[in-house]
A = this chain, B = another copy of it.
Amino acid sequence: MAKVKVAVNGYGVIGKRVADAVSKQDDMELLGVVKQHPDYSAKVAVMKGYKVYVPDQASLDNFKKFSVPAAGLAEDLFKSCDVILDCTPGKVGVTYKPLYQKLGKKAIFQGGEKKDVAEVSFTAQCNYDKAKGKQFVRVVSCNTTGLSRTLWAIHQAFGIAESFVVLARRAADPNDIKTGPINSLVPELTIPSHQGPDVQTVIPEVPITTVAIKCSTTLMHMHIIRAKLKKPATKDAVIKVFQNTPRVKLISGVDGFLSTSHIMDYGRDTASLRGGRDDLMKILVWADSISVKGDELIYIMAIHNESDVVPETVDAIRAVMNVCDVKTSMAKTDKALMIGAGEVPAAILVGEKGKETPFLC
């Protein structure tokens, strides 16, 4: 079967990761990436062997001036591909949509775009089939992806009658030196924050209300989830659900995972086992934090906002190209990206059925 020809428009935090990810899939071919400035990221792309296209003539001149080889203009790249991965900044993707339409190309947008940019808002394990064969699909944001993965699993196991989520958001990406706040907490004053309705674009069955605050940190988002279940659960049962949920990993404070810093430290320690990035594409749920009282469930999770949407984007390619089913796609993606490689088992002692699970310390 011919490989799917993929173009990546935008080479920032997400773009460079999906480019790496696509280049590792045996059924895809990365035709090139679009990058505006000839900076260190562009130079690294060239070093990795990616063809770097530019959006316009001005960029072309600039690449030439700084001796960074440009492969041509973005539109030429788009014409020759099967699928465009739009990784431009939020709200910019929608401005490219007319071009993608004109060229008759399929495109996968990111969660910075509004839902109506696409026919389907997508999280592979929740609604892969809905995206099959579509022209425009939106991979939802990192936060929405994390909520969709875990809430969907809980909903299928126990039913969710209502859920309330507080998102403690990292305020800036690690390489963003312009954005604050330094030393402050910034609430999103409109309630619900946009993430709640966004989750429902993927799993409308799950009632959810979200409140978000921005914190002075760059590493990860943290979510505190409280759900009323339709039927009573136990901590053991919830642990088992998460153990069996794709792209979700249980961690434990007992192992020293006491913060988002420790999680990313672990990501760095195990990067060599996953081919070189400290990215953690699974959602990390603290087993210790899982608290169940009858039909009330609480848990805390961390989200690596730079990377959890990367495997989703890869799966979305297979969905729009209609080349295989969800199980096959997710398995291929996870294997190629070595998701789960370098994983250490969480220190969990699952207690007697129906009782609170005792923890190791």
- Taking Cβ atoms with an 8 Å cutoff, the residues of A that contact B are 16, 20, 37, 39-41, 43-44, 47-48, 65-66, 164, 166, 168, 170-172, 174-187, 189-192, 209, 211, 213, 215-220, 222, 224, 226, 253-262, 264-266, 268-278, 286, 288-289, 291, 296, 298, 300, 302, 342, 344-345, 347, 360
A156–B66 Cα gap in the complex (Å)?
A: 32
* Residue of B whose beta carbon sits closest to that of A44: B269
B184 touches A180 (CB 8 A): no
B286 touches A187 (CB 8 A): yes
Contacts of A300 in B (CB 8 A): 187, 189, 191, 211, 213
Q: Could you jot down 7 A-B contacts, CB within 8 Å?
A: A183-B183, A183-B261, A184-B219, A211-B298, A211-B300, A218-B261, A278-B278
- How far is the CB of A257 from the nearest CB of chain B, in Å? 6
With A272-B275, A289-B187 given, is the CB distance from A172 to B168 under 8 Å?
Answer: no
* Residue of B whose beta carbon sits closest to that of A175: B265
Could you say which of B191, B271, B275 contacts A291, with CB atoms under 8 Å apart?
B191
Among the interface residues A182, A215, A271, A276, which one has the most CB atoms of the partner chain B within 10 A? A182
- How far is the CB of A186 from the nearest CB of chain B, in Å? 4
A262–B273 Cα gap in the complex (Å)?
A: 24
B39 touches A255 (CB 8 A): yes
A190 touches B288 (CB 8 A): yes
A259 touches B185 (CB 8 A): yes
- How far is the CB of A238 from the nearest CB of chain B, in Å? 13
With A226-B164, A276-B272 given, is the CB distance from A258 to B174 under 8 Å?
Answer: no
Contacts of A262 in B (CB 8 A): 40, 175, 177
- How far is the CB of A75 from the nearest CB of chain B, in Å? 25
B360 touches A261 (CB 8 A): no
Contacts of A218 in B (CB 8 A): 182-183, 261
Could you say which of B164, B268, B302 contacts A164, with CB atoms under 8 Å apart?
B164
